[in-house]
Structures are given as structure tokens and as C-alpha cells.
Amino acid sequence: MYDLIIIGAGPAGITASVYAARKRMNFLVITKDIGGQAALSGDIENYTGYQFITGPDLAAKFEEHMHKFEITLKENEEVVELKKKEDKVWVKTNKDTYEAKTAIIASGKRSRELNVPGEKEFKNKGLTYCATCDGPLFTGKDVAVIGGGNSALDATLQLLKIARQIYLINNTPTLGGDAVMREKVEDAKFVTVLNNAQVTKIFGERMVSGIKIKRQDREEALSVEGVFVEIGLIPTSEFAKDVEKNQFGEIRVNPYNETNIPGIFAAGDVTDVPEKQIIIAAGEGSKASLSAFRYLAHS
């Protein structure tokens, strides 16, 4: 029986673990991987204390900080169910079942899929959801980035140093996202922005060789060897069936990171807290841990 189970080890989960360790709580961290979306980010210029740092480097700093403490970590485990029964929180994973007095859900978000023909067939065969992870595989090649927000802009900026030609496929009239990033993308020589365009198909033989897009009621094919899907993220919250969520699947929390179920807290991108930023997720993780500690002290 643990005092606390933290689900996820991105910025929110890792920060929650550091605060739980400093409060001498008996706790467990369960996660599929370490770093979360931070590890998949490119260049970061808005995390206080670092004028410039890459996503993987910042994630490594987080992990290093976490390992300064004696933390029980279950890595490569996926949570499939979370329930509260008789004042205990039960967490079931694909490998085991654990129980605790409290839990913090910091499971973050995952990439949204296009749901077009060819997407599943060419996943990891030229189609990817992570420019940071797979960008170097496309050195000197023509690629397409699908999306028009910060994720797509970040991927495009990373690929500027790698790819030969980048097509940015955006389904709205203009690009969104951060103004500074947008200007850099629009000024880049090797980027062609195609607004009001929708991807209708990914095609190729063994590997991706192109995509079909629809613009102004006309369909055309683009010859590319890489496709980076960057159309946003969806919260990883399905396992918490009894926890109240909004229309986007984000877990509803109050200023103390409490959910509708006493003893179950949530933090970071999986919640309905506005603005999905690394620094905000980290701050929310610390708050959730302090709230869990306070709950234990009064229960």
C-alpha cells in the first residue's frame, strides 16, 4: 500500500515525484516512458532558467533530478484502469495491479492521427509523429508536415536543417501557433506552405512515396519520402473512466488539482488547465503533489 501513485513521467509527473520525495511520501511512479512531450520537442526558448535548450536535453535534466531521490519507478508499463474503492485507489497496468491512498494522473497527451487511407500501413515506413525522434532519417529528402499549429511549426523548424524540401499542409486559411515560429517558417526558403489543404491519402509501395491533398475542390499528388503528422494531441485519460472530463477528454481539476473523486488528483496536459506548456505542466505537478500530501495529512 503506497501513499501515492503517480501516473506518467513527463514534466508534471517528474515534478510531482520530486515534491513527493521531498515530503518523504511512500510513492510509486508508473509510466510508459520518461520525458513525455518535452522529450519530443525541438528547440525550447521559453523555459525559465534556460535561454535555450533542446527538448531531449531538458527531459534528461528532469530525469536526472528525479533520480537524485530514491524513487520506485515502473517504466514501460501502461495504465489500463484506475478505480477508487473503499478509500483506496487501485491502478491496473498491462503488467500488474497496485494500490495506494492517493493518485496523481499526469499521463499527458499523445499524437492525434489523420485517419486517412495509408496512414496505418506506412506508420514507421516514412510516416511518423515525431520530428525530434525521426527527423535525421530524412536527410536530403522531400517531406510533408501535416498541421498548422505550434507542433507543426516546431517540426518544420527542426526539419529545416535536415530535409531538402518541406511542404507544410495546413487545413485552415492561415497558419496558427506562436508568431515568432510562424515568421521563421514563412521566411524559410525551402518551405512551401499550402493552406486550405487536406490530406486525403498516403501512398507508396514498401515505403512512403507521396501524399494526395485536396485544395479548392481539386486533388493533387505531392512526391515526398517522409510524412510528419503534427495535427495536435489528445489526452491520455481513457483509463480513468470515473473521473470527470470535458468535451475534449481533458480531466477537470480545481485550483488544487483535485478531480471530482477525493484522493485522485491530476496535473499537466491531461487536464483542462489552459495553455499546454512545459513550465505550466511542471508547476501543476508540484501543486498536485502538495495537495496529495495535504489530503493524506487530513485523512
Cell of 45: 526558448
Cβ–Cβ under 8 Å, residues 128 and 227: yes
CA 40 to chain CA centroid, nearest Å = 8
Cβ–Cβ under 8 Å, residues 161 and 138: no
43 included as an active-site residue = no
Q: Which residue reads 495509408 in cell numbers?
A: 118
Q: Which residues of 126-157 are buried (b: 16+ CB within 10 A; e: fewer)?
A: bbbbbbbeebeebeebbbbbbbbbbbbbbbbb
What span, in angstroms and rounded, lies between the C-alpha atoms of 124 and 2? 39
133 included as an active-site residue = yes
Between vectors from CA 145 to CA 140 and to CA 38, what angle results, nearest 5°? 100
3 included as an active-site residue = no
Q: Which 8-state DSSP code applies to residue 112?
A: P
- Of residues 164, 172, 182, 170, the one with CA closest to residue 145: 170
What would the DSSP string read from start to end of 232-270? -EEE--TT-TTS-B-TTSPBP--TT-B-SSTTEEE-GGG
Among candidate residues 43, 130, 142, 178, the one labeled active-site is: 130
Among candidate residues 134, 142, 178, 272, the one labeled active-site is: 134
What span, in angstroms and rounded, lies between the C-alpha atoms of 92 and 155? 35
Cβ–Cβ under 8 Å, residues 263 and 102: yes
User: Which active-site residues does the annotation give?
Assistant: 130, 133-134
